[in-house]
Structure 1
Amino acid sequence: MAAGGFCKLPNGRVVVALNLPSPTALETSGVRVLVHAQNRARALTRLRNLGLRAVYLRGNAAPPTPDEITAVLHHPDGLIWRTAQDTKVLELWRPIRSLLRDAAA
């Protein structure tokens, strides 16, 4: 289960943001994952197909910010992540492949 939210875009597509526990021991604060998809169900299916099976979106408590929406729309995969920190330290968004590769190692 995860906290998160979504934002519907003018073209009908959605951006889903989820706060997940980190799959690696390197990240203690968890990760924030952004997914751009046709609808919420497809966004969650994209994550489940990558091996994140227990991912659900209940409510809209933590929707994506405008900066997050811009970041995921400009990424070719439409699926990015970074650590979920409470501080205002600027951290770059990374492709989901790097998170899954770190978790497998």
Structure 2
Amino acid sequence: MPGGGFCKLPNGSVVVALSLPNPVGGEGTVRFLVHAPNRARALTRLRNLGFRAVYLRGNAEPPTPDEITAVLHHPDGLLWRPDRNTTAELWHPARALLRRPA
């Protein structure tokens, strides 16, 4: 079951982590990380990418310290990677997931 959570940072912004079904039709889930001023804005950023039914209920799977570091050091502040348990794969910018192959 997809889940997610958030972490409030000392400056007042939040990092939201969500596990969602793979949007390109692959198997498993995709872990998204979003850095935003608040939770509502983080979810809006995902909805603007086409994930219309994205909600954050509870805080069952908050972002790990490594995930927080990754999203804070990325200029877009919006990353993804297949399944949380595959730590061998690097984080990708969200626009790479939605890019159409040539």
The TM-score normalised by the length of structure 1 is 0.89
Aligned equivalent of 1:11: 11
Whole-angstrom distance in 2 between the partners of 1:52 and 1:34: 14
Aligned equivalent of 1:38: 37
Task: Say how many residue pairs are matched.
Answer: 102
Identity across aligned pairs (percent)? 74
Structure 1 vs Structure 2 CA RMSD: 1.9
C-alpha contact (below 8 Å) 1:7/1:64 kept by paired residues: yes
The TM-score normalised by the length of structure 2 is 0.92
Unaligned regions of 5+ residues in structure 2, if any?
none
Unaligned regions of 5+ residues in structure 1, if any?
none
Task: Map 1:1-105 onto structure 2 (within 5 A).
Answer: 2-25=2-25, 27-87=26-86, 89-102=87-100
Letter of the 1:90 counterpart:
A
Letter of the 1:53 counterpart:
R
Whole-angstrom distance in 2 between the partners of 1:82 and 1:71: 11
Give how far 1:90 is off.
1.3
Q: Closer, same or farther in 2 for the Cα pair 1:75/1:58, shift >3 Å?
A: same
Letter of the 1:100 counterpart:
L
Tell me which stretches of 4 or more aligned residues in structure 1 moved more than 6 Å.
none
